Structure 1
Amino acid sequence: MRTSRLSFLAPALAVTVALTMTACSSSDSSDSEAEGATVSTIFGDVTVPENPQRVVALGWSDAETALALGVQPVGASDWLAVGGDGLGPWVEESYDTAPTILGTYEVDIESVAALRPDLILWTRSTNDQATYDKLSELAPTVGAPVGTDIAYGTTWEGQTELVAEALGTQDEGQALIDETNADFDAAVAANPEFADKTVAIGTLYSGQLGAYVDGDARVDFMTKLGFVNSPVIQDQAEAGKFAIDLSAENVAQLDADLTIMFPIFQSADTITSDPSIQGLPVARDGRLVVLGDQNLSNSFSAGSAAGTRYAIENAVPLFAAPLKG
């Protein structure tokens, strides 16, 4: 069974970087690269090369987004720890040549430099300025879209738009966005009972309870279906953070019209056998959905167009069942 390495506390993790960079960056070997589009990000405008050939995709789901748009990165980060080429089973495309797999939360600048990138994608990340500055010395680096105010807060739609703009594949990107939104529209039409229901999305990792807030990909997914994030959870949101910790005494705060939970670094039975969670009214009434299937919880967390479409097809029926009639 594949093991997820999603880190609930990613915003608080320090992103460490090597202090010494190799001398062979793409700026040494591609002085004659034609300039392409100018892309606006939270770090300012970035001029990217036309038809980049050596794309390094570091941000969460950046690699699968580039691949969906017809570009095969030479380096990629395996955010969901699915192994191999770092692509989940919801990704239809495949690599001709598997990319070099790089770290996730800790960006190894020397390893990135060794790939001689002419474009770096870092659209869904910590948004750390110091790391961005080091990456941008190697090659034009596309960070999160303008207006992103939390770590890993880039939406699937914003990521698709930004990556498509950087790669010069805007038509393909818009088509992917339209297809995904059509799936959402169909799900909303089929499930009118979702409208204005409260939802709490929680996790259990190493014995620690947590819940997600607006701006997180999972919460955005549910609000797009018509749900409202639980006010008792949302009111505790902290600036720049996509989640909160909950003490065991506050487990009742996970109660909502619908509660969704999944485990990190452990099996689903840590949730299904937890008496405090199973004693919640939402659990007793059968409105607690535990995503024990690793592929399903990963796709729900991926924050990509492909992962989102997979979750619409496979997770939405699970969310709908407890709320039907």
Structure 2
Amino acid sequence: MIGTTLLSLATIFPAQAADSRIVTLDWTVAETLLALDVVPQGVAQIDAYRDWVGTPALPPSVMDLGLRAQPNLELLASLDPAHILITPLFAALESRLSRIAPVTTLGIYASGDDPWSGMLAATRELGELVDRPEAAERLIKTTNAHLAKAKRHLPENLPPLLLVQFMDARHVRVFGDRSLYQGVLAHLGLDNAWKRPTNAYGFSLVGLEALANLDAHLVVVEPLPVGVETQLNENGLWQNLSAVREQRVSTLPPVWSFGGLPSARRFATLLVEALTRTERAADA
């Protein structure tokens, strides 16, 4: 493990944060608010946030607003928020939400810009909105330092990586250009084996057969859908992938693939730790 040599998560994510009359339907906004030392009043689908994002953790005081696409508007209004923050994914809700409080849309992946640049711009914009511009700059600075330090702990001569997340036992999202994961790989100086076009969120949805001829170290990002692990044990296509046969597979705990700088730092930490463990096991 390299947790003692990289910037600790306790340093990255403050233990105490100031309350704010801000609510958000979006998990990327929520994790960034917490990293800026601001606790939102409410966030949508908190249980799913814990499954898919995890860190930074939402304090017990945060209200669950219901489904991200269908929030409980009565509950939201009862909180009397000063501001509602969304992303373009929830643009259809803006007219209804604006009857409750002013709405601001923060975009990262849906814009035409490089997602990493969009992430930095959104972090700064959010810092201005919550009157914490210094905290936003500090988050950017410490993220860059964290990635630089993580890079120094990587094993040498690593093969290209193939980053996947299972949708079911036969289909995966493969992350490439425009993804959060690719942004981290670029900062770590690692190669991505997936060179095919990706969508606005940086992934391609493909069948397992699309991975068959790729020579790479396979990185599986959890969570796995229910039953998939058992099905993969009986799936000949999966078992015959060269990376699986040669035990070049690393599994990472959940990292929000559409996240902001907190998710980027978490992904870098977990990836470097996993690749280091694999290298040590190969040398043993």
TM-score, L = length of structure 1: 0.65
Paired residues of 2:160 and 2:190 also in contact (CA < 8 A): yes
Query: Conserved in 2, the CA contact under 8 Å of 1:78 and 1:101?
Result: yes
- Matched with 1:221 is 184
Q: Which residue of 1 aligns with 2:48?
A: 81
1:156: how far off? 5.3
Identity of aligned residues (%): 21
Unaligned runs of 5+ in 1: 1-50
Q: Deviations over 1:64-88 (max 9, x none)?
A: 322332322111123661569x982
1:279 paired residue among 226, 229, 240: 240
Indicate if the aligned counterparts of 1:205 and 1:265 stay in contact, CA closer than 8 A: yes
* Matched letter for residue 216 of structure 1: S
Q: Deviation above 6 Å: which 4+ runs of structure 1?
A: none
SS of the residue corresponding to residue 265 of structure 1 reads coil
Greater helix share, structure number: 2
Partner of 1:116: 80
Q: CA RMSD in A?
A: 3.6
In the TM superposition, residue 171 of structure 1 has moved relative to its aligned partner by 0.6
Residue 214 of structure 1 aligns to a residue whose secondary structure is coil
Query: How has the CA–CA distance of structure 1 residues 80 and 199 changed in structure 2, closer, same or farther, with 3 Å as cutoff?
Result: farther
Size of the aligned set, in residue pairs, is 258
Give the equivalent residue in structure 2 for 1:187.
Answer: 150
The answer as to 2:220 corresponding to 1:264 is no
Task: Return closer, same or farther for 1:162/1:226 CA change in 2, 3 Å cut-off.
Answer: same
Give the secondary structure class of the aligned counterpart of 1:149: coil
1:182, CA displacement in angstroms?
0.9
The residue identity in structure 1 corresponding to 2:165 is: T
Distance (Å, rounded) in 2 between the aligned partners of 1:105 and 1:213: 26
The answer for the alignment partner of 1:162 in structure 2 is 125
Shift of 1:92: 6.5
Q: Deviations over 1:49-73 (max 9, x none)?
A: xx99520121123223223323221
Change (3 A) 1:83 1:203: closer
Separation in 1 of the partners of 2:260 and 2:109? 18
Q: 3-state DSSP class of the match of 1:264?
A: coil
| Consecutive unaligned residues in structure 2, runs of 5 or more | 1-17
User: Which residue is equivalent to 2:56?
Assistant: 91
User: 1:118 corresponds to which letter in structure 2?
Assistant: A
Q: Give 1:192 deviation, angstroms.
A: 6.4
On the 8 A contact 1:201/1:260 being kept in 2, the answer is yes
The answer on 1:139 being equivalent to 2:89 is no
User: What secondary structure, in the 3-state scheme, does the structure 1 residue paired with 2:185 have?
Assistant: helix
The answer on whether the counterparts of 1:251 and 1:276 sit within 8 Å (CA) in structure 2 is no
